[in-house]
């Protein structure tokens, strides 16, 4: 019995033999392979745990960010960093101590980040934003020689325009907005939003702006040949330098600029104050539509009801004046009046003329209905236009001032009408029949 027991190995001896025996995996012993597997499983569990923890942390950060704890900074607005504290700040002056809280907060009503102190720091660096530059009040005062009367080049109900020369030698037009009943702040917001990024060869570009305290100013590119009103109604002599071809060039360029505002932007921009004094001219008689202070941004809706009619008497469409209903058709009507002014050389409202000729639109339609269209041409035009070209321009005027706003053409269509040689179109003749 004892001999048999000696031949049969014990369980402990058999297990030890198996653990120490070599395997086919890289000729490693069995206990080494088991240790490697256990280490791999442990590492996998640790990796999964770390991934779950990182995901929970990321969710917490996103919730904190969206809840408003971390402010969002627009990509279009440069982040303004607080200036580093100086070791020995100078004592405040008596003038600075005398400022009230209301005076310090005036500049923050429109753009809180553009107060006086931050503006001074930024003006030293010459900050340039995506569409323009911020100017300090001191820079513009120096450019316009203290806003002297000699540098005034235009004045309207919403501000005075000065000619200015910056330190780099460039000439600009500085529009100092009136601060009456908050209109300066409102116009400042509208103009900055409407034309800050608008770039078109027939629109005056905005270079920059200034907002310090109650001051609101806009800096435009300078157009050096006056405006259309000066050339149409000023003392230009017995013969106007605005030939028929130049007048049509001005009309077509203005129409292209307005077509871009109506059809090339989203949201669209309705100018609301189209008139000859807002059409600037360069030395080559290229028109540039200016003064977007009355611009109204429109969304996808076709019209917008406003409680306050804004515009210039004689140019405002009847439906806008009576109901306050505003859309791009209002600009089309104003352009029609402007085109009549270009053709006839007459002002929209002229109280110095006889009773039947004071209102340009009524006189114009009366002349057309009595078949005296050739008599409406500005007598200062030396070379008469071809009869077909004059007729084409007159028909465009009549279509623009149609009392039914839905029958008025779009500005893009007006461009084609003025440029087309075969207008009136045959399709219009067929529809009339």
**Residues that are catalytic:** 273
Separation CA 185–CA 206 (nearest Å): 17
Contact 253, 414 (CB under 8 A): no
Specify the DSSP class assigned to residue 89.
Answer: P
Phi, psi of 159 (to 5 degrees): 170, 170
Q: How far is CA 120 from the centre of its chain?
A: 25
Half-sphere exposure of 310 (CA within 13 A, CB side): 19
Q: How many CB atoms neighbour CB 269 within 10 A?
A: 25
Q: Is the peptide bond before 424 cis (omega within 30 degrees of 0)?
A: yes
Element (H, E) at 163: strand 159-165
- The helix/strand count (H/E) of the chain reads as 16, 12
Largest Cα–Cα separation, the chain: 149
Alpha helices in 218-281 (DSSP H): 228-233, 244-263
* Alpha-carbon distances, residue 96 vs 91, 92, 102, 118, 137 (angstroms): 10, 6, 13, 15, 17
Expressed in angstroms, the distance from the first to the final Cα of the chain is 132
Strands, E assignment, 286-386: 287-289, 296-298, 304-305, 325-326
Burial of 106 by CB count in 10 Å (0-12 exposed, 13-18 middle, 19+ buried)?
Answer: middle
CB 79 within 8 A of CB 73: yes
Per the listing, tokens 């553009």 go with 114
Residue among 251, 28, 214, 45 at smallest CA distance from 115: 214
DSSP classification of residue 224? T
Contact of 22 with 33, CB cutoff 8 Å: no
Query: Quick check: 339 and 393 in contact, CB under 8 A?
Result: yes
Cα 134 off chain centre by = 16
**Pairwise CA distance, residues 207 & 311, whole Å:** 25
Rounded CA-CA distance 198/265 in Å is: 8
Instruction: Name residue, tokens 């009773």.
Output: 355
């Amino acid at each position: 019995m004892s001999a048999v027991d000696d031949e049969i190995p014990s369980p402990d001896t058999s297990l030890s033999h198996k653990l120490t025996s070599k395997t086919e995996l890289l000729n490693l012993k069995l206990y080494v392979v088991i240790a490697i597997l256990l280490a791999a499983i442990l590492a996998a569990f640790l990796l999964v745990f770390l991934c779950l923890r990182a995901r929970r942390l990321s969710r917490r950060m996103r919730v904190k960010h969206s809840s408003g704890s971390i402010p969002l900074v627009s990509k279009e607005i440069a982040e303004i960093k607080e200036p580093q504290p100086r070791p020995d700040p100078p004592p405040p002056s008596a003038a600075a101590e005398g400022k009230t809280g209301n005076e310090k907060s005036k500049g923050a009503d429109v753009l809180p980040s553009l107060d006086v102190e931050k503006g001074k720091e930024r003006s030293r660096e010459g900050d340039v934003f995506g569409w323009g530059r911020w100017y300090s009040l001191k820079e513009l005062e120096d450019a316009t020689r203290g806003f002297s009367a000699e540098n005034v080049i235009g004045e309207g109900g919403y501000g005075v325009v000065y000619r200015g020369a910056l330190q780099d030698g460039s000439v600009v037009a500085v529009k100092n907005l009136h601060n009456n009943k908050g209109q300066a702040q409102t116009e400042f917001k509208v103009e900055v939003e409407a034309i800050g990024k608008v770039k078109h060869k027939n629109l005056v570009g905005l270079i920059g702006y200034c907002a310090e305290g109650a001051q609101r100013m806009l800096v435009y590119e300078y157009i050096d040949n006056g405006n259309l009103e000066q050339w149409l109604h000023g003392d230009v002599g017995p013969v106007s330098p605005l030939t028929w071809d130049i007048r049509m060039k001005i009309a077509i360029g203005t129409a292209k600029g307005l077509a871009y505002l109506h059809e090339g932007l989203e949201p669209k921009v309705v100018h609301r104050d189209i008139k000859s004094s807002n059409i600037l001219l360069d030395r080559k008689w290229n028109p540039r539509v200016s003064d977007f202070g009355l611009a109204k941004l429109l969304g996808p809706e076709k019209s917008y009801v406003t409680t306050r009619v804004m515009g210039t008497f004689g140019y405002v469409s009847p439906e806008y004046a009576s109901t306050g209903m505003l859309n791009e058709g209002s600009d089309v009507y104003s352009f029609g009046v402007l085109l009549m002014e270009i053709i006839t050389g007459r002002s929209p409202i002229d109280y110095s003329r006889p009773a039947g000729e004071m209102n340009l639109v009524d006189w114009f339609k009366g002349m057309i209905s009595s078949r005296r269209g050739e008599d409406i041409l500005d007598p200062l035009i030396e070379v008469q236009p071809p009869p077909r070209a004059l007729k084409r321009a007159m028909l465009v005027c009549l279509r623009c001032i149609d009392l039914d706003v839905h029958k008025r053409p779009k500005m893009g269509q007006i461009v084609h009408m003025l440029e087309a040689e075969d207008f009136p179109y045959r399709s219009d003749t067929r529809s009339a029949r």
